[in-house]
Protein backbone atom coordinates (compact mmCIF):
# COMPACT_ATOMS: atom_id res chain seq x y z
CA UNK A 1 0.00 0.00 0.00
CA UNK A 2 1.26 3.46 -0.86
CA UNK A 3 -0.04 6.44 1.11
CA UNK A 4 -0.20 9.50 -1.13
CA UNK A 5 -1.77 12.03 1.22
CA UNK A 6 -2.93 12.73 4.74
CA UNK A 7 -6.09 14.44 6.03
CA UNK A 8 -6.57 15.64 9.60
CA UNK A 9 -9.77 16.93 11.20
CA UNK A 10 -9.54 18.61 14.60
CA UNK A 11 -12.27 20.28 16.62
CA UNK A 12 -13.08 21.40 20.13
CA UNK A 13 -16.36 21.90 21.94
CA UNK A 14 -16.34 24.40 24.81
CA UNK A 15 -19.11 25.16 27.27
CA UNK A 16 -19.27 28.58 28.93
CA UNK A 17 -21.60 31.02 30.59
CA UNK A 18 -22.69 29.86 34.04
CA UNK A 19 -25.59 29.98 34.88
CA UNK A 20 -26.80 30.19 31.24
CA UNK A 21 -24.61 27.61 29.56
CA UNK A 22 -23.64 27.96 25.93
CA UNK A 23 -21.80 25.47 23.75
CA UNK A 24 -19.49 26.57 20.96
CA UNK A 25 -17.67 24.25 18.55
CA UNK A 26 -14.93 25.07 16.08
CA UNK A 27 -13.39 22.53 13.70
CA UNK A 28 -10.81 22.60 10.93
CA UNK A 29 -9.80 20.01 8.33
CA UNK A 30 -6.39 20.10 6.64
CA UNK A 31 -5.00 17.93 3.83
CA UNK A 32 -1.51 17.46 2.48
CA UNK A 33 0.02 15.44 -0.32
CA UNK A 34 3.16 13.57 0.64
CA UNK A 35 6.35 14.53 -1.15
CA UNK A 36 9.72 12.85 -1.24
CA UNK A 37 11.20 12.61 2.24
CA UNK A 38 7.84 12.98 4.03
CA UNK A 39 6.40 10.32 6.28
CA UNK A 40 2.66 9.97 6.82
CA UNK A 41 3.12 10.11 10.59
CA UNK A 42 5.31 13.23 10.43
CA UNK A 43 2.92 15.09 8.12
CA UNK A 44 -0.05 14.01 10.25
CA UNK A 45 1.62 15.41 13.39
CA UNK A 46 2.42 18.71 11.66
CA UNK A 47 -1.12 19.06 10.36
CA UNK A 48 -2.55 18.24 13.79
CA UNK A 49 -0.38 20.89 15.46
CA UNK A 50 -1.44 23.50 12.89
CA UNK A 51 -5.12 22.54 13.22
CA UNK A 52 -4.99 22.72 17.03
CA UNK A 53 -3.40 26.18 16.83
CA UNK A 54 -6.02 27.42 14.36
CA UNK A 55 -8.90 26.16 16.50
CA UNK A 56 -7.43 27.88 19.55
CA UNK A 57 -7.29 31.13 17.55
CA UNK A 58 -10.96 30.71 16.59
CA UNK A 59 -11.80 30.59 20.31
CA UNK A 60 -9.72 33.74 20.89
CA UNK A 61 -6.86 32.02 22.71
CA UNK A 62 -3.39 33.51 22.29
CA UNK A 63 -0.80 31.47 20.42
CA UNK A 64 2.86 32.30 20.00
CA UNK A 65 3.86 29.74 17.40
CA UNK A 66 4.84 30.50 13.80
CA UNK A 67 1.83 29.70 11.70
CA UNK A 68 2.56 27.60 8.63
CA UNK A 69 -0.84 28.60 7.27
CA UNK A 70 0.61 32.08 6.60
CA UNK A 71 3.58 30.74 4.60
CA UNK A 72 2.93 30.84 0.82
CA UNK A 73 3.24 27.56 -1.08
Q: What pLDDT, in 10s, does the model give residues 31-59?
A: 999 999 999 999 999 999 999 999 999 99
The pLDDT confidence band at residue 27, using thresholds 50, 70 and 90, is very high
Q: What pLDDT, in 10s, does the model give residues 9-25?
A: 999 999 988 888 899 99
Q: Where along the chain do its domains lie?
A: 5-70
- Chain center to CA of 47: 6
pLDDT for position 66 = 62
Euclidean distance between CA atoms 63 and 40, whole angstroms = 26
| Residue pair 55/12 in contact by the 8 Å Cβ criterion | yes
Euclidean distance between CA atoms 66 and 32, whole angstroms = 18
**DSSP states along 49-62:** HHHHHHHHHHTT--
Amino acid sequence: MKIKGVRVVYGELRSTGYPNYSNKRHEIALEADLTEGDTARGVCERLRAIAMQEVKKLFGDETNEVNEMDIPF
